[in-house]
Amino acid sequence: MHVLVTGAAGFLGSHLIDRLVREGHTVLGVDNLSTGTRENLAHLANEPRFHFLEWDICCPLPADFATGRLNYVFNFASPASPPEYLRLAIETLSVGAVGTQNMLEIAARHEAGILHASTSECYGDPLEHPQSEEYWGNVNPVGPRSVYDEAKRYAEALVMAYHRTRGVNTHLARIFNTYGPRLQPSDGRVVSNFMMQALRGEPLTIYGDGNQTRSFCYVDDLIEGILRLARSGVHLPVNIGNPNEFTILECAQAVLEVTGSKSELCFEPLPEDDPIRRRPDITRARKLLGWEPQVQLKEGLARSLDFFRSKLSAAS
């Protein structure tokens, strides 16, 4: 198959491409490198089945790109960590709206399938727990996180409209917190912050009292869920995440155990509109895709250790 992946140089995009190339597909990767890095794709430099274009998908793709038939589009382009989408607020709104529509047009033109990377942030600070796909969410439309949440919610509406009115074969993955190698050490997410702080012997920065929860999915599990959804006939959103829920304090403890670090904890203010709890109900993914995560938090952190260690030596 000929596959287009946007957000190719990002954490998830690059892992997805590795898996697609391994399966024998030809992959066209697009990224404007606003948050992704060439380093995430460096190992594919001599891979004949992979081609890269540095491009902002808010602009229509160049005419000579993907001239042949495309079979599938994975739309993963977007800043995704809270500090990055706050820094790139308008770009985040644009890529969710204009960029996503450009990709839907390409899918329609090529009669290709398309999977859009949506997010648990569609549920905002959820009033229902755990979150099933039927829950409509509790999003502040004008808060700082709204640039991400509303872009992703608008993108979901756009995807469903292309499915309903143009008959495009669309898929929507609501992705929950994911971690693993290539999670950018500097992008401010909890797992990358804690791993780097623990390895450096610095205090782990707990925002708020640390009793807020997240449910962490290891990247290999996530990619498996994404591919199963892409190959399914399911057009409504599907939660892809690990339902094992941890407080941020428990996450810090797990990082300390896995790294063997003696770092202390320090407490900092909770960012505005930071969701208090988050846990996917994955009944739909289990039933319709036969999927559930296999790797639990400490094992996944252990598998990520070498990557964060390598970043440590690169920085020092």
Cα–Cα distance measured from residue 36 to residue 12, given in angstroms and rounded to the nearest whole number: 10
Q: Is 207 a catalytic residue?
A: no
CA quadruple 16, 20, 21, 25: dihedral sign? negative
Active-site pick, 148, 162, 179, 218? 148
Report in angstroms how near the CB of residue 36 gets to ligand UDP at its nearest.
17
Closer residue to ligand UDP in complex, CB, 72/218: 218
DSSP string covering 98-153: IIHHHHHHHHHHHT-EEEEEEEGGGGBS-SSSSB-TT---B--TTSTTHHHHHHHH
Interacting residues toward ligand UDP by CB under 6 A: 81-82, 177, 188-190, 193, 205-207, 212, 214, 248, 270-271, 274
Nearest to residue 20, comparing CAs of 34, 41, 36, 38?
41
Report in angstroms how near the CB of residue 271 gets to ligand UDP at its nearest.
6
Q: Between the CA atoms of 200, 203, 205 and 209, what dihedral angle is there, to the nearest 10 degrees?
A: 150
Closer residue to ligand UDP in complex, CB, 210/237: 210
Report in angstroms how near the CB of residue 199 gets to ligand UDP at its nearest.
14
Contact in structure between 158 and 101 (CB atoms under 8 Å): yes
Strand partners, 229: none
Provide the terminal-to-terminal Cα distance of the chain, rounded to the nearest Å.
42
Closer residue to ligand UDP in complex, CB, 20/80: 80
Closer residue to ligand UDP in complex, CB, 144/188: 188
Closer residue to ligand UDP in complex, CB, 143/271: 271
Report in angstroms how near the CB of residue 27 gets to ligand UDP at its nearest.
27
Report in angstroms how near the CB of residue 315 gets to ligand UDP at its nearest.
17
Closer residue to ligand UDP in complex, CB, 110/214: 214
CA quadruple 56, 40, 180, 170: dihedral sign? positive
Nearest to residue 74, comparing CAs of 201, 273, 222, 272?
222
Token code pair at residue 60: 């229509």
Where b means 16+ CB within 10 Å and e means fewer, 204-218 reads bbbeeebebbbbbbb
Report in angstroms how near the CB of residue 232 gets to ligand UDP at its nearest.
26
Contact in structure between 116 and 75 (CB atoms under 8 Å): yes
Residues with a catalytic annotation lie at 148
